[in-house]
Amino acid sequence: MLAREKIVVSAGGTPGNHAPVYFGPRAAEAEYGCQGANGRSASLPTAGGPGQDIKVRLSYADEKPGLVQVAGESNWTGTKWQVTRDQVLFLDCKGGDGGNGGKGEDGQQGGKGARGRNATKYRDAENGGMGAPGGDGGYGTSGADGADAGNVFVSVSEDDLDLLIALQWDINGGKGGLSGTHGDPGDGGIGGNGGDGCTWTERHGDTVDHRSRPPGASGPQGRPGNRPPTYLAGGKSGKQGSCQIRVVNRDLTESTYPDRYDIRVVSFDILDENRDGVNEPGEHLLVTNIKVQNAVFPSKSGSMPSPGTQGIRVLIHGTPWLEPIESEPLELPRSIPRGATVDVPGTLRALIRNETAPRALGQPLMVNEVVTLIADFPRLHRAIPEFSGSTHIVIQYPLQLNPPNCLDCVALGDRVKFSWVLRNISTKPYGASGVLKRHCGTRFSDPGGIFVLSYAEADSPHEANDPLEILDPGAEVTIDQSFEVSNDVLPYSAGQLTLQLMLSDPCNGGMRPVMIYGINMQISGAYKYDPLSQFLLVVNSFTPNNAIHKIINFVRYGLGLHVDIFNLSVSGSYIDKNTGQNVLNAYGGKSIIIFGNDFVYFGLGPRSPWELLDPWEACKLAKGGTSFLFASVGDLNKLKLWGSTATFPAYAFNSNVSAPGDIRNKQSLDEINKDVRSADQTLLTTFLPTHTVPCKKKFLRSEDASLDSAVKSIAKKLNKNIPLHRYVVTSDEAARTGAIAGTIVIREGLPKSAKMFASLLPFGTDTGDIMDYHMYMIVASLPFKMRSRMFWNLAGAMDPAGVSANVLYEGDELVQFKSSLSVSTQRVIPQKVCRAVCLSIESDLGVEVSRFCAKAPWPDKIPTSSSLTQLPLLKQFLNPSSGSTPTLNSLDNTDFLITTLGTLLGALLPIGLGQWFSHKVIRVGNRKAKLWPQVVSHIKGSLSQRFTPEIASQIEKAAVQAAANIKTEIKQAKGPKDLTPVIRARLAMLTQINGADSCDLTGLSLWSESWPKGVIQAKWNEHAQFLARRDKDEEHSRRLLREMVNAEEENE
């Protein structure tokens, strides 16, 4: 209830004055050598003034309903007040409070002691004098006494006792003032400084003696002052006044009481109308067995009974959820004696209001409400303030619907079964046959009309009802519904179903929804392998549909190529249900785009797409030329952790059992170097061979020490001799003999020339064209061999209006691209896509050259004849097949060619004095110096296949000049001294996004490594745990899919 406005009738005593606490300014320390001044005493406070008596008479005028008439008597004769329902008359007779005692002034600190005399040749230095004494603290004062309160005299007739609730009074005596405190004694003065020492010399013949006298000590501190010894106390409180209520009875006799009646609630019971133990919206709440008491206080005697002529009405207090039935109030028994407890006959009712605002979907109703009783006098419409009693209840429905067991994604053509559990939490059965005759059930509906509900009625095809005949108390029932996903729905659109718990209203019987779930699903296309597809797009239920359509539209209409889409939320794994094989294996040598967002995995919580992908399988595919792009990665750190395991896939080694890669037994590291250098690095294979080399026991070393030393040595040599391959070197003691310490095992990891990277920016929420940033990432995910051929096809064909797809996809390497083009359409590839091809080639070649030349030893261990063959991307780029390309006799549309070739040559130029000296002066043994003439020679050959000698020469010269400009850019840029900052700046220019970047997962570990025994064992265990977790997840998803998707067909 709101606080009422107070009309104050003031007869209270005036408060006393506090003792002042300010004494004026004074120096903190006495003058030199003087005693500190004593503190001054505090002043006395003053006592409070006494309260005065107030006499009033209460009356009621029928012509002024609701108003309490108050007239003053004695000293207040002639004063009248009218108190409305929103006001209260407050009679203030309180005694005045005493003033607080004062604090004495602190004593002053004593002055500093006298300074000692200085030393001379003839006497010692004197010590400083004692400091002067501090001053005594000043006297404080006690608190002043509070004054006595006045008295309240109220006259009222027996018929007007209800008017007393409009009065309040204060007859407390004034509080005594707080005690003051004495002042603190002043500290003694600090001692005087000692006299200074002195030094002098004395000559005795040829001898000079140095003599000295020490300085004097400082004097002692003076004694402090004294604290006053008297005891200070607080003031005494004044006497409490009295209240006398004179009641004039109907027989003209009078009764006097020290206080008015005090009606309070003792207890009451709450029942719901249905007697099912649930307080449900729409039904009535019943309050019975109300007990009230006219409270009594031990300090008062002769207390007043409740009014005998005026009835007191009792109701339930209204709230936003409770609407009291005001036409059915109860009346308290009259003339309740003080201290008596009585029962209130009858029952109160309040309607539990129905919900007026929609609840959040899937949120059950659970309202904690307080039931409070109020009592008032009818003619005043004023509640009795002390009449209070409350208890807590919970407002909810008798039936509860658990979240439905459903899928986040369904595919076109699937027959899907969802289920849910309905529970009765009341104490009575519900349903058409229950004792309450409360109809209930569930309603499963398709508001968008895109599904075919199996059990819908003919007149409502998009709504299926499941009415319940009876559901016993505490029981639950499982209900299921199935539906079919229409093949006419747009793939990768949003679908929504609605599940409602229907329950009849307890008052009018009308059916109403009391619980609603919105079931949102992604409508996925059905996966089908297309041999002409160059891309596989792996999505999930939380991948934005607009992002999926942007990629599909760009690949199909921007590149003119085919793309397959595989949904992890439909399959639960990377296994194709049609073949039982990993779906990624069908796209070897192609591009795989995996959306990097987390998604809810079949009720087990969030999962990342790579948590279902074996890093060993991904490593093999990437080595075989398959390009991986993880698009719009949400948690890059988690992806990097997975990527590190894909960089060095760990598997157990047994020389007697075949390993995941073929085992090649060698006698020395030189044989491995020879095999790698002689192999054609452009021929891609998924094999990750394991090499073994015997390790001889070294002189004066144990077998273990010999093995450990050899493992570390071989890892270092591999980094020097085969820099673009990545190996893990470990040891195996199984083949240990007398002269052989064991076997060195060299496992090949992910080559540095593989393509496995991640884009970081999210897709926009708009439905327009794809962002240039994502366009570039998709183009960069094309296999390098294909992008290289596309680059050379652009010679003389690059045009602002775009390039014909027939021209861009010319050549044996791109025959599959051309096969996927529409015969009837002359598709044009936009120029921006062509520039993305060029920039991605510059990026890949720059990274390869940088990694090949990084930390190269001098002199270089790699023979000149083998240096270029170790760079597979560069070799592919510099040896394009000519095909039927015509010879060009013009520089038109060759700017891109000069830029890219210049960027490549710029990556081979020396940066810094050290590189320049080894490159220009000591050319023999420098890795970049050995590559430069070979690259220039191959560029000449490539240009001669497409241009006349004169034009080819002009392009070559322009490229060399562009290389010089690239070198300047590298030197001026912040960051690594390679092409990285240059490519980053060009990418920002292409995409119009500052900071646009990606993460190269092949660069997480750039060097071959040596692993001790414990590390390799830990890697095996980590990989085994990864597969165990994945297999457990996949088994869970397979079980759910068997139960929920096409279940009837499988059972048949």
What digits encode the pLDDT tens for the residues 648-689?
876 655 544 444 556 776 777 778 777 777 776 666 777 788
pLDDT bin (cut points 50, 70, 90) of residue 820 is: low
Secondary structure (3-state) at 477: strand
Q: Which position has the higher pLDDT, 976 or 525?
A: 525
pLDDT at site 1052: 36
Per-residue b or e along 905-917, where b marks 16 or more CB atoms closer than 10 Å to that residue's CB: bbbbbbbeeebee
The answer for 327, left when phi > 0, alpha when psi is -120 to 50, beta otherwise, is alpha
**How many C-beta atoms surround the C-beta of residue 687 within 10 A?**
12
Secondary structure (3-state) at 718: helix
What digits encode the pLDDT tens for the residues 930-948?
888 888 888 888 888 888 9
Q: Is the pLDDT of residue 83 over 90?
A: yes
pLDDT at site 659: 47
Q: Which position has the higher pLDDT, 15 or 66?
A: 15
Mean pLDDT, to the nearest integer, of 182-208? 90
458's CB contacts (< 8 A; 6+ apart) are none
Secondary structure (3-state) at 1032: helix
Q: Which of 118-132, 726-740, 888-902 has the lowest mean pLDDT?
A: 726-740
Instruction: Give the integer Cα–Cα distance in Å for 370 and 322.
Output: 9
CATH number for region 533-648: 3.40.50
Contact yes or no for 420/499 (Cβ under 8 A) = yes
What digits encode the pLDDT tens for the residues 135-153?
999 999 999 999 999 999 9
Homologous superfamily (CATH) of 400-524 is Immunoglobulins (2.60.40.10)
Burial of 767 (0-12, 13-18, 19+ CB in 10 A): exposed
Burial of 230 (0-12, 13-18, 19+ CB in 10 A): exposed
pLDDT at site 767: 77
CATH class of 261-396: mainly beta
Contact yes or no for 728/509 (Cβ under 8 A) = no
Contact yes or no for 81/49 (Cβ under 8 A) = no
What digits encode the pLDDT tens for the residues 98-121?
999 999 999 999 999 999 999 998
Q: Is the pLDDT of residue 462 over 50?
A: yes
Enter the tokens of residue 505.
């209203």
pLDDT at site 912: 56
Per-residue b or e along 49-88, where b marks 16 or more CB atoms closer than 10 Å to that residue's CB: bbbbbbbbbbebeeeeeebbbbbbeeebeeeebebebebb
Burial of 313 (0-12, 13-18, 19+ CB in 10 A): middle
Instruction: Give the integer Cα–Cα distance in Å for 760 and 774.
Output: 10
pLDDT bin (cut points 50, 70, 90) of residue 917 is: very low
Q: Is the pLDDT of residue 1002 over 50?
A: yes
- Ranges of beta strands (E only) in 821-922 are 828-829
Contact yes or no for 496/447 (Cβ under 8 A) = yes
> Looking at the DSSP assignment, which residues form a beta bridge with residue 457?
460
Going by C-alpha positions, the residue among 880, 886, 843 that lies closest to residue 982 is 843
Can you say whether the dihedral through the CA atoms of 748, 751, 754, 758 is positive or negative? positive
Instruction: Give the integer Cα–Cα distance in Å for 311 and 803.
Output: 98
Q: Which of 249-253, 286-290, 344-348, 815-819 has the lowest mean pLDDT?
A: 815-819
Q: Is the pLDDT of residue 300 over 60?
A: no
Share of the chain above pLDDT 90, in %: 60
Peptide bond into 859 cis (omega under 30): yes
Mean pLDDT of the chain: 88
Q: Is the pLDDT of residue 824 over 50?
A: no
What digits encode the pLDDT tens for the residues 600-640?
999 999 999 999 999 989 999 999 999 999 999 989 999 99
Q: Is the pLDDT of residue 1049 over 50?
A: no
What does the CA dihedral 324, 330, 336, 338 come to, rounded to 10 degrees? -10
pLDDT at site 859: 76
Q: List the chain domain ranges.
A: 261-396, 400-524, 533-648, 801-992
pLDDT at site 297: 66
Q: Is the pLDDT of residue 840 over 80?
A: yes
Q: Is the pLDDT of residue 1051 over 50?
A: no
Same fold, 261-396 and 400-524: yes
Can you say whether the dihedral through the CA atoms of 807, 810, 814, 818 is positive or negative? positive
pLDDT at site 920: 52
What digits encode the pLDDT tens for the residues 889-907?
888 888 999 999 999 888 8
pLDDT at site 924: 54
Query: How long, in residues, is the chain?
Result: 1052
Q: Which of 294-308, 593-607, 613-627, 846-860 has the lowest mean pLDDT?
A: 294-308
Instruction: Give the integer Cα–Cα distance in Å for 849 and 775.
Output: 25
pLDDT at site 298: 59
Contact yes or no for 828/806 (Cβ under 8 A) = no
Mean pLDDT, to the nearest integer, of 540-550? 95
- Tell me which DSSP letter residue 195 carries: P
Mean pLDDT, to the nearest integer, of 118-128? 91
Secondary structure (3-state) at 828: strand
